[in-house]
Structure 1
Amino acid sequence: MGSLLTTAYSSESFRQQAHALVDLLADHLERAKTGREAVITYQEPDEQLAFWRQDFAQPVNANPLPLFEEMVRRSIHLHHPQFMGHQIAPPLPLAAITGLLTGLLNQGTGVYEMGMTANALERIVMQWLAGRLELGTDAGGLLTSGGTLANLTALLTARAVSAPTDVWGEGNTDRLAIMVSEEAHYCVDRAARIMGLGTDGIITIPVNDRFQMRTELLEPYWQEAKAKGLTVFAVVGSACSTSTGAYDNLTAIADFCETHSLWFHADGAHGGVAALSEKYKPLVRGIERADSIVVDFHKMMMIPALVTAVLYRRDADSYRTFQQKAQYLWADATTKDWFNSGKRTFECTKLMMSAKIYTVLRTYGEEIFTDYVETLYDLARRFARLLSQRPEFELAVEPESNIVCFRYVRTGLDDNELDQLNSHIRKQVLNDGRFYMVQTTLRGRVYLRVSLMNPLTTDEHLESLLNSLIV
């Protein structure tokens, strides 16, 4: 082995580099938590690319610390209490440390021998979450990389179980369709198109004034689909929607699916964890009747991205999604081996995702997840009250989760002018860097949108945000 490889695999070099990195990240965490640095130092894409191209052209440096420092400085800081943008949690430091462990061990979990610990931990974590969602004793599931892949996996299972013919073996010989709220996450639409359903196979149900699926329209839309020769095999309920954080009536969807023997899938990527809170559990009433559920651990459970659960009320259904021979991996492709996760996931060489969740549960207990949900959902409701007391702001809808949509209003401006004004405000906030928030479009109008993901955010931070928006 050459001297360069010997140095690169040196345990002593690893010790020194890791200690230096942890010190750097601990200092960054402290600065971010206390607000002693900007949330984001924004640069236009071409400027950022130019910097890193110039850096890439430099001679190699045996000390990676300056590189790490630059990466931290040029990244958005999720642990800053004035980060209120996208639905990504500030990771628990313990979960990040576990990521260092799993990165070095690098256990691919598709085959048991390559991921003995990870597969066992995944089984335990999935059964724990299935239990908290009250899915029953036959429930189980798997972990995968993100909500997009998770929703696709669940819908592939729904098709395998519910479609009139064996699509996996015989190809798509039927005009299949799903029914979903018009406010559902875009990944559901993407999954349907990947599955070959096409535009006609994505039946979008209008929403009410609270952006919830109008479940009374499920029956007439289903009848209309039948008349067109479409076979609906699944209905997707949002818990909650992405733009506004609104929860669909999952009980009504479950009733409809039960009546017509349809697969009920609940996209609980963001808000499914309300089930862990007695206070907010009513929001997901009916989710226990879903055939499949998706929950993102990297959204409302403080695990570094990407870690997503795909849960099934009948764990046996998960083995019908991908059925392939791979003699070099396992001897029998038909046996339901929970310990060979590659039989049930799109991924084969999958990260040790379960270790991060298991470590947090064993160290802090599930109460930390409950506290997180209740802290942020409570904060969103207080923010909505604060907005209602400020005539210069207009609330889009009373929040059900930790997502709040609102806009700045000014007398004498029409809707188009208000749209332009709010887009301008959002751009100013981005360039200023003290806060981070995004915008969305509701009912054709531009609204400012905050996702309150940081439990260190306070009412005072929100008051300061509103004061900074006045133009």
Structure 2
Amino acid sequence: MTNLQQAFSSENFRQDAHNLVDLLADYLEASHNQTLRSVIPYQEPDKALSFWQADYEQGKTDINDFFKKTIEKSTHLHHPRYMGHQVTPPLPITAVAGMLTNLLNNGMAVYEMGLVSNPLERILSELLAKRIGFDKNASGLLTSGGTLANLTALLAARAAKTDVWEDGNTTKLAVMVSEEAHYCIDRAARIMGMGSEGIIKVPTNDKLQIRTDFLEKYYQEATEKGFKVICIVGSACSTSTGSYDNLEEIAAFAQKYQLWFHADGAHGGAVVFSEKYKHKVKGLDQADSVVIDWHKMLMTPALATALIFKRDEDAFKTFQQKAQYLWANQHSKDWFNSGKRTFECTKLMMSVKIYSILKAHGEQIFGENVDYLYDLGKTFAAMVKSRPNFELAVEPESNIVCFRLNNHFSKDLNELNSAIRKQLLEDGKFYIVQTSLKENIYLRVSLMNPLTTETDLNALLDEVENIGTQIS
């Protein structure tokens, strides 16, 4: 047997897979009971590069040694004291599904290469459409991340409101967004050639929600400057603070001027699965397009993002071009050839991972996760307020909470809280991030792990206070 043939050995695969599952199960157990002490084994970038360069120079070695190193050197999202970025600790069943899809490696652009994933994607899109409140005319697609999904939504808006796809730019286009909107909206507008002036950033209120009372003013100013506003974007919720825009008022404004209404619910749109918190997206059913990340609050490995259109036909207007070698009829609106509606051609079988959650745990697990983590956000905010040396940035509307050590300490508050965050990172016992709000630095937690408890949150506040005392 040649080396190449040996590389495809089913018996080798069986053994390697068993060994890896054992390693990952041990990692999960150590994370959950916190015998795994480090949440993030942080190293400076150059030091990490040197480590892996030395590993590379060893050449072929035991693959299990590489797997062990990878687990040890990675950030441990399944540890209850991971409270950093908005990335979920995936359900273990999705890792099993990932092994399945990685080996099968079926793309999705054409039905013949996505015999399973295309139908499952359709089912999942219709599930979300129903949860949003859209009727049977709605559907959508999955794509690799919120950035790509939001860009696709803005392209759909442009296709609906202009003839740019065929005629090119004939007028200055613009999109209205909150100044707290995710940076990918700004990036998408620039990619589309709108420039900085075509991104109309509307100020926010003290809760960091878009000022809907300013919409008229900013729209009229843009129109007077010669811009054609094609779209307005609502955040559900914002990245920095987890604040929800008033989607009903945005919808009314969009209808008044016949604008495309896009809702970026990458993080907070998951509340559509929660009876307790779905009121936060009241008005979402009036949007023309909605983005929801399965890999944020819905426990799926990255990247897996849903883009749902109120009118399924809008998905097909975005990328109308000939590709005879792929499709017999490039103008037909067939749902089973996903390449007609996305940037991606050889797309991952991401629908299989999501569907595995439904089959293993049922749809209700999504709502349970949202409820627990949003409740925990409220609990943490109350804990912060109960301690005199801390202050909240805003009352949280989600599982994102921004707080800081306050002026009971003599050091400049921005310097103090940045130094605390740096020390936490280097210590590795917790992982949180920081954000800048109105030029003030706040510590920021995203409570993504349903195994995080009040004990962990109290320990975090104790640690922050201890570090602050030491460096003040």
TM bracket, shorter-chain basis: over 0.9
Q: Cα deviations across residues 73-115 of structure 1 (Å, max 9, x unaligned)?
A: 0000000000000000000000111011000000000010001
Find the counterpart in structure 2 of residue 59 from structure 1.
Answer: 59
- Secondary structure class of the residue paired with 1:298: coil
1:11 paired to 2:6: no
Find the counterpart in structure 2 of residue 297 from structure 1.
Answer: 294
- Counting only pairs closer than 5 Å after superposition, residues 207-226 of structure 1 correspond to structure 2 as 207-226=204-223
Aligned residue type for 1:111:
V
RMSD: 0.8
Partners of 2:178 and 2:34 lie apart in 1 by 39
Which of the residues 414, 420, 436 maps onto 1:419? 414
Which of the residues 258, 261, 268 maps onto 2:265? 268
Find the counterpart in structure 1 of residue 248 from structure 2.
Answer: 251
1:205 paired to 2:202: yes
Partners of 2:246 and 2:409 lie apart in 1 by 38
**Structure 1: stretches of 5+ with no match in the other structure:** none
1:288 paired to 2:285: yes
Partners of 1:423 and 1:174 lie apart in 2 by 44
Aligned residue type for 1:159:
R
- Using the TM superposition, give the Cα deviation of residue 398 of structure 1 relative to its aligned residue in structure 2, in angstroms: 0.5
- Using the TM superposition, give the Cα deviation of residue 59 of structure 1 relative to its aligned residue in structure 2, in angstroms: 2.6
- Using the TM superposition, give the Cα deviation of residue 410 of structure 1 relative to its aligned residue in structure 2, in angstroms: 3.4
Partners of 2:409 and 2:34 lie apart in 1 by 37
- Using the TM superposition, give the Cα deviation of residue 247 of structure 1 relative to its aligned residue in structure 2, in angstroms: 0.1
Which of the residues 354, 379, 388 maps onto 1:382? 379
Find the counterpart in structure 1 of residue 143 from structure 2.
Answer: 144
Partners of 2:63 and 2:246 lie apart in 1 by 51
- Using the TM superposition, give the Cα deviation of residue 412 of structure 1 relative to its aligned residue in structure 2, in angstroms: 5.9
Aligned residue type for 1:52:
W
Aligned residue type for 1:122:
E
Which of the residues 301, 308, 320 maps onto 2:305? 308
Paired residues in the alignment total: 465
- Secondary structure class of the residue paired with 1:116: coil
Find the counterpart in structure 1 of residue 89 from structure 2.
Answer: 90
1:434 paired to 2:424: no
Find the counterpart in structure 2 of residue 404 from structure 1.
Answer: 401
- Using the TM superposition, give the Cα deviation of residue 411 of structure 1 relative to its aligned residue in structure 2, in angstroms: 2.7
- Using the TM superposition, give the Cα deviation of residue 426 of structure 1 relative to its aligned residue in structure 2, in angstroms: 0.2
Partners of 1:363 and 1:18 lie apart in 2 by 21
Find the counterpart in structure 1 of residue 165 from structure 2.
Answer: 168
- Using the TM superposition, give the Cα deviation of residue 11 of structure 1 relative to its aligned residue in structure 2, in angstroms: 0.5
Partners of 1:241 and 1:175 lie apart in 2 by 27
Find the counterpart in structure 1 of residue 78 from structure 2.
Answer: 79
Runs of 4+ in 1 over 2 A off after TM superposition: 410-414
Q: Cα deviations across residues 162-185 of structure 1 (Å, max 9, x unaligned)?
A: 12xx11111111100000000000
- Percent pairwise identity: 60
Partners of 1:173 and 1:33 lie apart in 2 by 57
Find the counterpart in structure 2 of residue 240 from structure 1.
Answer: 237
Aligned residue type for 1:357:
I
Partners of 1:242 and 1:60 lie apart in 2 by 42
**Structure 2: stretches of 5+ with no match in the other structure:** none
Aligned residue type for 1:115:
G
Partners of 1:235 and 1:305 lie apart in 2 by 27
Partners of 2:29 and 2:150 lie apart in 1 by 36
- Secondary structure class of the residue paired with 2:175: strand
Partners of 2:241 and 2:59 lie apart in 1 by 48
Aligned residue type for 1:465:
L
Which of the residues 391, 394, 402 maps onto 1:394? 391
Partners of 1:157 and 1:41 lie apart in 2 by 42
- Using the TM superposition, give the Cα deviation of residue 358 of structure 1 relative to its aligned residue in structure 2, in angstroms: 1.0
